[in-house]
Structure formats: C-alpha cells, structure tokens
C-alpha cells in the first residue's frame, strides 16, 4: 500500500489500490481451491425442493445420498441434479435410471429432461431417458450410467 510520506494520512489512491488488491487476493484464493477437493460441502436444499430428502427419509451419518422421492420423477421424463452431477429418469412406471449429467460432446452440463430426452443446451445433443444413448448429435457417445437404488419411496445415489 502506498503511503504519502509527506503526511501521516493515506491518500485516496492508496486506499483504493489497497481495497482492489485485497479483493483480487480474495478472488484468486477462491479460484485456487477449485477442483482440489477443498471446496466446502454444498448447502442442503430446502425441504420439498428437488434434491431434498423426502419427508421421513433416514440418513445414516451422511453415507446415504438421498436425491429425491420416486414421486418427483415423472414417467417418461426425469430431473437433473446439478450439484450431484446426475440426471435421474423414469422411462416406464417404476423403472428408474441414472446417468452422468455431463454431456459427452464437450463436457457441458445437460440442462433438462423433456420430450423423452435428456437435453444439452450447449450444442443440442439429446440422449434417451431409457439408456442414455445418443438420440441427436453432435455427441457420439452415450451418457455414462450412475448407480442408484430405490429404497422405499426414496432414490439414493449409490
């Protein structure tokens, strides 16, 4: 920080430069932990929100990752859980599937499940809700499957 040596007070320029410098250090510190596993745990979703544990769902000390209730996944459709990087679908009544929410074309996050497909907003790739296969390119590889379990009325990420 610059201090005007002719007086004992800080100049406006020194205060602004110091504040900008502190903001840059804070921003760079936050960026440096990206991808290092040091990120804080995500906040719990509000009760009733997609991704929130269904009412009455038991947790065994954080080892169970309840995504949602089976009633919240529409038949022939699905829901994207961005924080968990997974999309859960229900191709037919009572059959639940899960896939990575990362598009195999260029790594964008898929944005929605609509019209029987999992849709990527970046370049228009579409994947089948039943098996994650490519319905429309430019993607050429299917979405990788994720392991889920249905426990009662809860869908749990294994």
- pLDDT tens for each residue of 56-91: 344 444 446 888 888 999 999 999 999 999 999 999
CA atoms 27, 32, 38, 43: torsion sign: positive
β-sheet with 154-157: strand ranges across: 65-69, 154-157, 148-151
The pTM is what?
0.59
Question: 3-state DSSP call for residue 84?
Answer: coil
Q: Which H or E run includes 134?
A: strand 134-136
- pLDDT tens for each residue of 6-51: 545 556 665 555 555 555 445 444 444 444 444 444 444 444 444 4
């Amino acid at each position: 920080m610059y201090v005007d040596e002719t007086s004992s007070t800080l100049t406006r320029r020194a205060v602004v430069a110091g504040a900008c410098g502190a903001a840059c250090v804070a921003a760079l510190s936050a960026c440096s932990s990206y991808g290092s596993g040091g990120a804080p745990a995500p906040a719990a979703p509000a009760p009733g929100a997609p991704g929130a544990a269904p009412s009455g769902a038991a947790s065994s000390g954080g080892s169970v990752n309840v995504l949602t209730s089976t009633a919240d996944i529409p038949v022939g459709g699905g829901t994207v859980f961005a924080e968990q990087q997974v999309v859960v679908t229900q191709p037919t009544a009572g059959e639940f599937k899960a896939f990575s929410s990362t598009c195999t074309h260029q790594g964008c996050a898929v944005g929605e499940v609509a019209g029987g497909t999992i849709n990527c907003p970046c370049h228009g790739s579409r994947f089948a809700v039943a098996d994650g296969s490519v319905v429309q390119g430019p993607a050429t590889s299917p979405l990788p499957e994720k392991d889920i379990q249905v426990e009662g009325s809860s869908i749990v990420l294994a």
